[in-house]
Amino acid sequence: MSEANLTLQHDALAGVMEESPFSIPSSKLVMWLFIISDACTFGAVLVAYGYIRNSAADWPLVFESASIWNALLMTFILVSSSLTVLFAVRAAQADDRQGAFRWTMITAAGGVLFALLHIREWMSLIGQGVRLFQNPWGSPMFGAAFFSVTGLHMAHVIGGVIALVVVGTGYKAGRYASKHIEIWSLYWHFVDLVWMFVVPLIYLLNMKR
Amino acid sequence: MSTDTSSSMSTTYIVYGVILAIAVIQVVVALTLGPSLGRMLILAVIQAYLAVMFFMHLRDEKSNLRLALIPATLFVLVMLNMVWADSFRLITMKPFAK
């Protein structure tokens, strides 16, 4: 069913059905509900990491300053991609399909770059002997905690890149409306927001002193 | 309309700059003063607040939506912290206790 037909149906039902208490499309509300449930998931994973870290007598502090600056570069890329996705939303709201597509692809490219830098960080740790349940330095749970938290976040980044490419190309082809770009921009900002907690809790608290 | 747009864009640029500045401050503080959990979390919460309110535009939504989302999420996140006492108990018990 086309969006125009849905709008007509909605208009016809407007006098019968109660207005949304939040004054947003139901799809946007669904994304907000997903985001708060995902925030609780990340909260639980970070608390589990903290629990393991607290209860280990020999938790290793492994990150050298190069890893810290790399994490800062990744922050810069992710926060900048939050800015570019805002440009995409703005272009979509102005019905500029080419502009929205371009900014969405730039955002997705930022996500790919972020994931590549993250994989490089993973490979460096793996090269130093870090595995899920062993490492050369101390508590064997360090690898499980690090790979779980950052892996869950990276899965969200990769999922977001795929979603942005699908929605961006779909919007350019006329299959999606501007609200779809806006809804997926919420998800992308959330991925950025989670990283703001991953950097201090995973990288900065575990840097070599 | 165009004035509104340019003013909201300038707000966006300011928020973008502040979030990045806080990220740099976090690293500098961690390298110079040491990575205190409290300091790191306070800075991260400020970043998150700015991102939710200005990038995700929650401040522009109806207060009903904010009331539906924020207290419930904070409640769950705070209740997750019940485990800390147990995590400290583990390290002070045998066989780790010295």
Q: Is residue A74 part of a domain?
A: yes
For the segment A115-159, what is each residue's pLDDT rounded down to a tens digit? 999 999 999 999 999 999 999 999 999 999 999 999 999 999 999
pLDDT for res A5: 59
| Residues of chain A neighbouring B68 (CB-CB closer than 8 A) | 22
Please name the member of B69, B72, B90 whose beta carbon is closest to the beta carbon of A55.
Answer: B90
Note the pTM of the prediction, 2 decimals.
0.91
Q: Which of B16, B57, B81, B89 is nearest to A54 (CA)?
A: B89
Assess contact for B43 and B25: CB atoms under 8 A.
Answer: yes
Q: Is residue A7 part of a domain?
A: no
- What phi and psi, each to the nearest 5 degrees, are found at residue B14? -65, -45
User: At A60, which CATH number?
Assistant: 1.20.120.80
Structural domains in chain A (count):
1
Please say if the pLDDT value at position B2 is more than 80.
no
- Residue A104 and residue A84: Cα distance in Å, rounded? 7
The pLDDT-based confidence of A20 (bands split at 50, 70, 90) is confident
Of A10-19, A69-78, A187-196, B81-90, the one with minimum mean pLDDT is A10-19
Q: Is residue A6 part of a domain?
A: no
Domain range summary for chain B, segments of one domain joined by +: 1-60, 61-98
The pLDDT-based confidence of A38 (bands split at 50, 70, 90) is very high
Gap from A131 CA to chain B (nearest CA, Å) = 23
The predicted complex's ipTM stands at: 0.90
In terms of residue numbers, what domain contains A92? 26-206
Q: Is residue A197 part of a domain?
A: yes
Q: Is the dihedral of CA A41, A42, A47, A49 positive or negative?
A: positive
Q: Which residues of B40-71 are buried (b: 16+ CB within 10 A; e: fewer)?
A: beebbeebbebbbebbbbbeebeeebeebbee
pLDDT for res A21: 83
Residues 3-22 of A with CB under 8 A from B: 21-22
Higher pLDDT, residue B87 or A145: A145
